[in-house]
Amino acid sequence: MHASYKRWFAVVMHRRGGKTTAWLNQHQRAAIDDEWETARLRAVEPGFTVSDIKELLRVRVYAHILPTLTQARAVAWEPLKNISRDIPGIKPNATDMSITYPAPRGHLRVVRLWGADNMDGLRGIALSGLSL
């Protein structure tokens, strides 16, 4: 999964197999590694111009959605903080359950947890990556 640039995945693993941790790591890499994310975007849509990719790299929001917001906090918030803790300049936000990663001025890079019990909360947000 981590070596692929595919747009869609269906990952089937047993309970406690590491699905959440794998996706949080995947989102974190996409948020902080411009070269990897550029290569992924070129693979997903070969027609993207340099200008298109530059704009897509400017604001990047990655969402991991669990069945409920309470479950997101209980299951994924600590692992998300843990995998990001060694990256200098991160800004954890416990209220939003998000990590904002260092980015150039005028850019945004965020990995955030959501609950499917409030899907309207995602309305209008342009996501760069999503896992359920």
pLDDT above 90: residue 129: yes
Mean pLDDT of the chain: 92
pLDDT the model gives residue 119: 81
How far is CA 42 from each of CA 13, 36, 56, 104, 124, rounded to the nearest angstrom? Answer: 29, 10, 11, 22, 24
Q: For residue 105, what are its two tokens?
A: 């001025």
End-to-end CA distance of the chain: 15
**Predicted structure pTM score:** 0.91
Q: Which of 46-50, 84-88, 94-98, 124-128 has the lowest mean pLDDT?
A: 124-128
